[in-house]
Amino acid sequence: MTSDHFFEKVNTYVHLSEVSKNAWHKLLREESYRKAESFVELGQIPRKVGFVVRGLFSQNYISESGDATIKYFFPEGRFAASVGAMLSRTPSKFSVIAVEDARVLSYDFSEFKKLTEQYPDIASFYIHYMERHWIVEKEPLEISFRRDTALKRYNDFLAAYPSLSNASRSIRLPRIWASRRHN
C-alpha cells in the first residue's frame, strides 16, 4: 500500500518537508479490518490513529441499557481514533468499528507526538487538524445531536461525503439512524 494518498491528505492542512514526511512515514503500518472488526474496542486504552484508506468506520457508544449510539463516521481520507481517551490515556468510552471491509495506515500516537516536538511542520498539521475537526466541526455536531433526528443527521452525512461507495451507502445505517431520535 502506498502512502501517497495519506500525505496528499496531510498536505491539505500543511505542506510537510521531505525530512518530516520521511520521519512520519517510518511510523506508518498497513492494517486491514473485516466488517464489524474493532479498530478501538470499548474500554481499551487506545494507542494509535488510523488513516482510512478504504472503507468506513463508525464510532459507537453503548449505554448501560445496551442501546447503541453512533457518534461519528470516519470515511475514506479521515483519521480514525478515540481522541479523548488517547490524549488522557484512559479507557475509551467508544468503540471504533469497521462498517465494511477496510484498510488503514496506522501510527502510534505517542511516537507521533514525539515527531510534533521535533518537526514544526508536523506540529502545525496536528494543530490545524485538531482545530478543524475537533473544535470547528464539533460544535455544529453537538447542536445537531440535540436538535436533529437521526435520519436528518444521516442524510447530512451523505451530503457531506458524496464520494462514499455504493456499498457504504447501502448498509443498514439509515435504519439504525432513523430508529432513534437522540442518538
pLDDT value, residue 21: 97
pTM: 0.79
- Going by the DSSP 8-state scheme, the letter that residue 16 receives in this structure is P
Q: Can you tell me whether residue 38 is helix, strand or coil? A: strand
Asked whether residue 107 is assigned to any structural domain, the reply reads yes
Asked whether residue 30 is assigned to any structural domain, the reply reads yes
How high is the mean pLDDT of the chain?
84
pLDDT digit string, tens, across residues 63-82:
788 877 788 889 999 999 99
pLDDT digit string, tens, across residues 108-164:
999 999 999 999 999 999 999 988 877 776 666 666 666 767 677 777 777 776 766
Flag whether pLDDT at 176 surpasses 50: no
Task: Please give the grid coordinates belonging to residue 88.
Answer: 488522557
Asked whether residue 183 is assigned to any structural domain, the reply reads no
Quote the domain boundaries for residue 80.
4-178
